[in-house]
Amino acid sequence: MENLVKLQKQWFEEGHTRSYDFRRKQLKRFKQMLITFEKPILRALRYDLSKSEYEAYAGEIAVLKNEINEQLKHIKQWMKPEKVKAPFTHIGSRNYILKDPYGLVLVIAPWNYPLQLSLAPVIGAIAAGNTIILKPSEVTPTVSWVLKKMINQYFKEEYIAVVEGGKEVTEQLMMQPLDYVFFTGSTSVGKKILAQASSRLIPVTLELGGKSPAIVHKDAVLHLAAKRIVWGKFTNAGQTCIAPDYLLVHHTIKNELLAHIKSYIQMFYGDQPVKNGKYVKIVNDHHYKRLKKHLIASEIIYGGEVHDGNQKIEPSILDGLNSHEALKEEEIFGPLLPVFTFSSLEEAVSMVKAKPKPLALYYFGENKEEQMFITTSLSFGGGCINDTLYHTLNPHLPFGGIGESGIGMYHGQASFETFTHTKSITNQSTKFDHRFRYPDSKTGLFFI
Ligand code: NAD
Q: How far apart are CA 235 and CA 60, in angstroms?
A: 12
pLDDT in tens, 118-157: 999 999 999 999 999 999 999 999 999 999 999 999 999 9
Beta bridge partners of 160: 132
pLDDT in tens, 264-322: 999 999 999 999 988 999 999 999 999 999 999 999 999 999 999 999 999 999 998 88
Q: How far apart are CA 230 and CA 119, in angstroms?
A: 27
- The CA angle 303-220-319, to the nearest 5 degrees, is 30
The DSSP symbol for 244 reads -
What separation in Å is there between the alpha carbon of 140 and the centre of ligand 1? 12
427: enclosing H helix or E strand = strand 420-427
pLDDT the model gives residue 325: 83
Q: Predicted confidence band at 444 (pLDDT cuts at 50, 70, 90)?
A: low
* CB 180 within 8 Å of CB 105: yes
What would the DSSP string read from start to end of 367-389? -HHHHHHHHHHS--SEEEES-SS
pLDDT the model gives residue 448: 52
Model pTM score: 0.96
Q: Which of 60, 70, 207, 314 is catalytic?
A: 207
0.95 surpassed by complex ipTM? yes
**Which residue minimizes the CA distance to atom 9 of ligand 1?**
137
User: Which atom of ligand 1 has the smallest separation from the CA of 401?
Assistant: 41
Q: How far apart are CA 252 and CA 256, in angstroms?
A: 9
Is residue 207 annotated as part of the catalytic site, yes or no? yes
